[in-house]
Structure 1
């Protein structure tokens, strides 16, 4: 892929021309001020998105409401916000991209859709339309080139269009024509305010994926009805209000890429305006879709969060340098589920640009020894080399990657494998990094390197209880199973329903094994502390594969017959099986940390041997943070 690729052809949208066919899709970052205005963190984050090289940069979740919600999302509900909006547009224009902004009603999107669509008075409906139109005008005055009206995922326009939720008996409900009225009047009101001085992109759910909700045929007729009032149709699917559908909005690694493309192709064939699509595209799948004429523009956000140079790298023919997104949904989980500032599992800089404004080469070069070759160590090594330091990595095995190798073996973990390969390649090819494979670190050989600083990335040890048959073929650790170091039988019990155990269950069930998962938690609590959107997808796939659960029990023993489990009342029973696989988590290897921590004064524990290990985000963040301190 290079500058001659089809995604790098310009495209006219309304009266504006985008330099290429890639759009940064809207996503709430929770980095704004609580009054809806700018701050240094949010402006720096916006600059990162704009610097990506995308042709359109769309700011996400911007509220038209007059009242300040108190949530850290952009406000467009008052004339006082115009100055802040102008600063955002100015930053985006600096990098030659069209500045766009997604308009939503923060107030109404949090209300039950049937209440908004059915119970709002005519005066409230007219006022809501006026709020959108006024917000669009403010964006125009501030210098934005485009707005995106969020009419998808059950947002306000979709509420009125919905035959399930709109039960009005006036001109805004009932017939198809009446349910379209809110959308058409909304667009007419906006055009009256802005004319053609700003382009309008309309985000639509081609289908809402639940029985009784909007389906593609009717939605397509609605799109035809409003296409003369918009400049581009943006195709998605699903509903935000239904947790079971969240994986279809934010597709995790277990789902295929480009899941909305087939629907978007229908819109492209039957509309006479440009069509954009969103949904787990990377630049390669985007290029295929645009080259075939399936769509005109492809929107994405997670790839750009993972590497803000991804589009410009592709333009320069340097895609191999781009850090891959693993589609883990750490970013979306933090904002959508936990209401935390946006972060990325593989890019420790995103959302933290103010904390680390620039990685510069140090005047005083140091020699740094890193013990262990896992993901935290690899991240640290890259940063240290960029700062000009000399790095030596001791890795006891014959290859780098650490626990990430286990996490990337399953067929559905291609995204993680791609990231792992990139991470190893960028370290092995760096002339400032010396890698010593098959070399276990000792105090003696670390001291012999005469390091100025030491990073301890020795990882964690699996939790393996001692049962009666421990050490026999009946009992196995999940890591050995994932890496194909041991054979397993046909009937399997997996002990532990964290991501590792459940991913192993999915992989084994797809190999034709009969799998049961046991855990001490109630079934509804499984995954509650993890990345919930991805866990929803994983549970759905496990159900389809016939994996069963026995919850609120603990493993008491392993016998020749199978797994002995004990419930909360102390009652024991045997689950017959051929193999018991332990996936009970890990403990930080504190012994190894103690062994090396006093060799030099400047020493840091990173990754899973740090106090809070277990996630890729923790690994990359702790490695990055330690490297920045040296």
Structure 2
């Protein structure tokens, strides 16, 4: 892929021209001020998106409401914020991108859809329409090139269009024509305010994926009725209000890429305006979709969060240098589930641009020795090298990667495997980094390097209790199973329902094995402390694969017959099985840390041996943070 690829051809959208066919999809970042205004953190983040090389940068979740909700989303409901909006447009324009902004009603989108669609008075309907129109005008005055009306995922326009939730008996409900009226009047009111001076993109759920909800045939007819009032239509699917559908909006790594493309192709075939599509595209799938004429524009956000140079790298023919997104949904989980600032598991700088200066070579190079070759060590090595330091990595195994090798082993973890390969490749090819494989670090050989800095990334040790048949093929560790180091029978019990155990369960079930998962917590709490959207998708796939759960029990012992479990009342029973797989988590390797902690004055502990919970975000963040201190 290079500058001659079809995704880099300009496109007219209304009266504006995008320099290419890639749009930064809208997503809330929770980085602006609590009243919805700007701050340096938010503007620095938007600068990162604009520098990506994308043709359109769409600011997400911007509320048209007159009163701020106190949630840190952009305020477009008050003229006092036009200056803030102008600063945003200016930052985006600096890099030749079109500035766009997604308009939503924060107040009404949180209400039950039937309350808004059926219960709103005509006066309130006119007021909501006026809010959108006034907000669009403010965006135009501020210098935005485009606006996106969010009419999908169960937002306000979709509520009025919904045959399931709109039970009005007046001109805004009942028949198909009447259910289209709100959206049509909304767009007409916006055109009165802005004319053709700003392009209008309309986001739509082609289908809402629940019985009785909107289906693609009716949605297409609605799109035909509004296409003369908009300049481009943006195709997604699903509903935000239904947790079970969240993985279809924010597809995790277990789901295919480009899941909305088939629906978008219908819109492209039947409409006479440009069509944009969103949904787990990377630049390769985007190029294929545009080249085949299936769509005109492809929207994405997670790839750009993972590497803000991804579009410009592709343009220059350097896609192999781009840090891949692993589709773990750490970013979306933080903003949509935890309501905290956006972060990325593989790009520790995104959302934290103001905390760190630009990475430049230091005038005083140091000798940095890193113990361990896991993801935190690889991140630290890359950053230290960029800063001009010389780096030596000691890795006791024959290859780099640490625990990530196990995590990326399953067939459905291709995204993580791509990241792991990139991470290793970027370190091995760096002339400032000396990698010593098959070399156990000792205090003696570390000191023999005369290091100025030591980074300890020795990882964590698995928690493996002893049972009667420990040490036999009957009881195995999940890591050895994932790496195909041990045989596994046809009837399997997995102990531990964290992400690792469940991913192993899915992998084995897809091989045709009968799998049961046991855990001490109630089934409804499985994954509650993990990445919620991804866990919802994983559970769905486990159910389809026939994996069963036995919860609120603990493993008491393992016999030749199988796994002996005990409930909270002390009752025991044996689950017949061929293999018991232990997936009980890990503990930081504190003994190894203490062995190296005091070798030199400047020492940092990074990765799993420094944090609670072995997540990729913790690994990359601690490695990055330590290297930035050098």
TM-score class, shorter-chain normalisation, is over 0.9
Q: Secondary structure at the match of 1:149?
A: strand
Deviations 1:575-606 (A, max 9, x none): 00000000000000000000000000111110
Deviations 1:194-238 (A, max 9, x none): 000000000000000000000000000000000000000000000
Partner residue in 1 for 2:135? 135
Partner residue in 1 for 2:603? 603
Alpha carbons 1:613, 1:619 under 8 Å: kept: no
Q: What's the offset of the Cα at 1:178? A: 0.3
Alpha carbons 1:118, 1:166 under 8 Å: kept: yes
How much is the aligned-residue C-alpha RMSD, in angstroms? 0.4
Q: What's the offset of the Cα at 1:562? A: 0.2
Q: Secondary structure at the match of 2:469?
A: coil
Q: Secondary structure at the match of 1:549?
A: strand
1:186 partnered with 2:186:
yes
Partner residue in 2 for 1:581? 581
Partner residue in 1 for 2:546? 546
Partner residue in 2 for 1:262? 262
Alpha carbons 1:56, 1:100 under 8 Å: kept: yes
Q: What's the offset of the Cα at 1:362? A: 1.2
d(CA) in 2 for partners of 1:23, 1:433? 36
Alpha carbons 2:23, 2:54 under 8 Å: kept: yes
Alignment of structure 1 residues 345-360 onto 2, 5 Å: 345-360=345-360
Q: Secondary structure at the match of 2:354?
A: coil
Alpha carbons 2:238, 2:248 under 8 Å: kept: yes
d(CA) in 2 for partners of 1:211, 1:226? 25
Partner residue in 2 for 1:100? 100
Alignment of structure 1 residues 11-410 onto 2, 5 Å: 11-410=11-410
Partner residue in 1 for 2:426? 426
Q: Secondary structure at the match of 1:311?
A: helix
TM normalised by structure 1 equals 1.00
d(CA) in 2 for partners of 1:516, 1:357? 49
Alpha carbons 2:476, 2:580 under 8 Å: kept: yes
Deviations 1:461-520 (A, max 9, x none): 000001111001100000000000000100000000000000000000000000000000
Deviations 1:520-566 (A, max 9, x none): 00000000000000000000000000000000000000000000000
Q: What's the offset of the Cα at 1:451? A: 0.4
Q: Secondary structure at the match of 1:359?
A: coil
Q: Secondary structure at the match of 2:344?
A: coil
Partner residue in 2 for 1:623? 623
Alpha carbons 2:239, 2:246 under 8 Å: kept: yes
Q: What's the offset of the Cα at 1:612? A: 2.1
d(CA) in 1 for partners of 2:545, 2:359? 47
d(CA) in 2 for partners of 1:473, 1:130? 69
Partner residue in 1 for 2:413? 413
Q: Secondary structure at the match of 2:334?
A: helix
d(CA) in 2 for partners of 1:613, 1:606? 13
Q: What's the offset of the Cα at 1:611? A: 3.1
Q: Secondary structure at the match of 1:354?
A: helix
Deviations 1:430-457 (A, max 9, x none): 0000000000000000010010010000
d(CA) in 2 for partners of 1:361, 1:352? 20
Partner residue in 2 for 1:465? 465
d(CA) in 1 for partners of 2:127, 2:173? 17
Alpha carbons 2:478, 2:501 under 8 Å: kept: yes
Q: Secondary structure at the match of 1:435?
A: strand
Q: What's the offset of the Cα at 1:357? A: 2.9
Partner residue in 1 for 2:505? 505
Deviations 1:336-373 (A, max 9, x none): 00001000000000000000131121111100100000
Deviations 1:263-315 (A, max 9, x none): 00000000000000000000000000000000000000000000000000000
Q: Mark the runs of 5 or more structure 1 residues left unpaired by the alignment.
A: none
d(CA) in 2 for partners of 1:340, 1:141? 31
d(CA) in 1 for partners of 2:73, 2:243? 22
d(CA) in 1 for partners of 2:586, 2:246? 29
Alpha carbons 1:607, 1:613 under 8 Å: kept: no
d(CA) in 2 for partners of 1:124, 1:611? 51
d(CA) in 2 for partners of 1:40, 1:569? 56
d(CA) in 2 for partners of 1:610, 1:33? 32
d(CA) in 2 for partners of 1:27, 1:357? 25
TM normalised by structure 2 equals 1.00
Q: What's the offset of the Cα at 1:613? A: 3.6
Deviations 1:63-100 (A, max 9, x none): 00000110110000011010000000001000000000
d(CA) in 1 for partners of 2:366, 2:439? 22
Alpha carbons 1:367, 1:390 under 8 Å: kept: yes
